[in-house]
Amino acid sequence: MGIEEMYAQFGLTGKVIAYSEKTLDGLKPRFEAIDRRAEAAQLRVIDAMQYARVDASCFAATNGYGYDDVGRDKLEKVYARLFGTEDALVRPQITCGTHALSLALHAVLRPGDELISPVGQPYETLKSVIGITKASNSLEEYGVSYRQIELKDDFSFDYDAIREAITERTKMMTIQRSKGYQVRPSFSVEQIGELIGFIKSIDPSIICMVDNCYGEFVDDLEPSQVGADLTVGSLIKNPGGGLAPLGGYIAGRKDLIEQCAYMLTSPGLGKEVGASLSVMPSFYQGLFMAPTVTASALKGAIFAASVYENLGFDVLPNKVEPRHDIIQAVTLGSAERVIAFCRGIQAAAPVDSHVTPMPWDMPGYDCQVIMAAGAFVSGSSIELSADAPIREPYAVYFQGGLTWPHAKLGIMKSLQQLVDEDLVDMS
């Protein structure tokens, strides 16, 4: 059976298949550049594992207190080497990216301190952590104040406003690399480095934390290699390679990592406790696979941008702009199109393809959200997925794809769903 016949089995019409194949014309040079970067990242991962002298004992399960967990300790050495930091905390006890960020913030900030975001509003789920949205145990409840500096109209940093905002109470800057649910460009590591350099020139003691979610292995460097004191992320995104079943990481200065470990477990115990149970093989192998998995997701993002920009929709980044994370925003202009897009993505999934995504009141969000994620790991956004807040400008955020063929199928199915519901004109 030929490829077109197989695509037809997934409900794809000849028109959508032909349009998709035509869209791929000219993308080969960009795909080759992505593969080249993935090759370099793969070498860095291997170097880090060899540096830490990873061996078969690292894959053994531990329980109880987790004292002398060799696999856990060496994995943190691997991450520190890979991210160019003094230390790292990589644990299954960190439940998600928001938890990792909350952990770092609560570990470092004290009553009377001030937190500033120099890149505008943070991702929705962090608003409750900070206290922008009222919640128990927020930073606000502990006497930590917060301010944010909006980006300029061209999405560049407002350096003058940042300088004016810094006071003797400013303890920490939180920098979100990815766009989140904002229709703005994601930041390159180079841009983040320039911002951190500016902040440090005003006050070297200010701690700069970067939310690195969705950005690992996309640029040649990580934020910790351009001055970030803490770099934070989730293992069910890029660095888990689709194999890590849970977990998060924080990489950075040794003294700050110690504080994070004390907050995660208990003062005085810190990194010494925390059994890894049986997850170490997936943590190691997922990290090993992460560069090529991330490359597949990037190819899918570029393909998505090309498909929808050519149809007249606003996309960010556009089909030719550089990429600094795996997220592709497509502004569809209506709730109906957003829902149809997500249903197409879900229909392409290997898991729960028969499920129909619906908008719902998801915890941590201030409006209804729709999520398409037929994943092997629940909530894993390095796997083929899409999500969107049901509000103007009705933009959907597509990411992931453990393999390029799956990412391609997902985008084709999203377009087919829009066509089937008469929500897009392909004439």
Q: What is the pLDDT of residues 32-52, one digit of tens each?
A: 999 999 999 999 999 999 999
Distance CA 170, CA 153 (A): 25
Rounded average pLDDT over 47-76: 97
Same fold, 3-41+291-420 and 60-287: no
Report helix, strand or coil for 330. Answer: strand
For helices 280-309 and 28-51, give the axis angle rounded to 10 degrees. Answer: 160
Q: How sure is the predictor about 182, in pLDDT bands with cuts at 50, 70 and 90?
A: confident
Enumerate the domain spans of the chain: 3-41+291-420, 60-287
Q: Which of 72-86, 365-379, 407-421 has the lowest mean pLDDT?
A: 365-379
Task: Give the whole-angstrom CA distance, residue 252 versus residue 224.
Answer: 7
CATH code of 3-41+291-420, in short, is: 3.90.1150.60
Residue type at position 88: A
How many Å is the maximal CA-CA distance in the chain?
69
Mean pLDDT, rounded, for 139-154: 97
Q: Are strands 328-331 and 395-399 parallel, antiparallel or unpaired?
A: antiparallel
Domain 60-287 has CATH 2.30.110.10: no
From the centroid of its chain, how far is CA 307?
23
370 contacts 272 by C-beta, under 8 angstroms:
no
The whole-angstrom separation of Cα 385 and Cα 346 is 8
CA-based nearest residue to 325, from 237, 225, 414 = 237
Radius of gyration of the chain measured on its C-alpha atoms: 21
Average confidence (pLDDT) over 339-361:
96
Q: How far is CA 226 from the centre of its chain?
A: 19
DSSP H helices, 112-253, are 124-130, 159-165, 189-202
